[in-house]
Amino acid sequence: MIKSERGKMRREDEERLATPYPPATPPSRERLAGALAIETPQLALLREAVFADFDETRGGIAWWYDHLDTRRRILISDHLWQCIASVSTNLIEARLHQAEVLEWWDRERRFVEHNLSWNDDDRLVIPKRLRPLDELPNYFAELHTVGFFRAIHSACDCIAGVVVGVGGLAVRLQTIAFGQMRAYLRSAELSTDFKPLSEKIDRWIAESGPRGWLDWALAFRNMLAHRGRTLQLARIQSEPSPLQSPSGEPLSRFQNIP
């Protein structure tokens, strides 16, 4: 297993990522994204196209020369390119947070499963955490859960920046949020030229998960960032086991389910 200061991945994730890249594959974030099954090939092409438009002499994107003053042209050009590049960076971070939170949940399950017991009154005795190490699974699991939703939120806001920058929308590029971008695309201020884009974004979101999944994910991140942490509940599920105690009684296998 991969061990680090942050934790480790499950064996199946480590084995999958231990497979070498194909020969002569140039270093890029796209090859890691491919190994993590989160490729964004169209964004990679857009990033290369925008970078190709940069002009050192004029500063920023060359064909914006007659439309923006030098300071704004350089600032907006750089911010647009960074937004495009940061989408895949945030998706990679989200996937890595996901890989590690699964392992920490497994570690918590194993700790509870291996240390549960019954007292003389047939009441379940929750295992005590006697070492600092025993406390870590819950904290690391929450750390990676928070990191996952932060990365998803950041990826969405970067996509909003891409839409505003490429579309030339009359809103503030540096602070645009994903929800604000969607609302602006639907607004009466825009011409009908942007209506197909708005409908396509809505369709992509609807096809990517259960109803309301993205609104929930973004709101959950906001709760984590700006509110007190909510009470976290877990249940302990007993499963039959083929093992027997020395007295011949069947043993139960316990599983902690977050």
Q: What pLDDT, in 10s, does the model give residues 71-94?
A: 999 999 999 999 999 999 999 999
The tokens describing 62, both together, are 């060359």
CA 69 to chain centre: 36
The neighbour count for residue 139, using CB atoms within 10 Å, is: 10
The tokens describing 194, both together, are 């942007």
Burial of 41 (0-12, 13-18, 19+ CB in 10 A): exposed
pTM of the model: 0.84
Beta bridge partners of 125: 117
User: Is residue 129 within 8 Å of 135, Cβ to Cβ?
Assistant: yes
| Each residue's pLDDT tens digit, 23-71 | 888 888 889 999 999 989 999 999 999 999 999 988 999 988 888 899 9
User: Whole-angstrom Cα distance, residue 217 to residue 234?
Assistant: 20
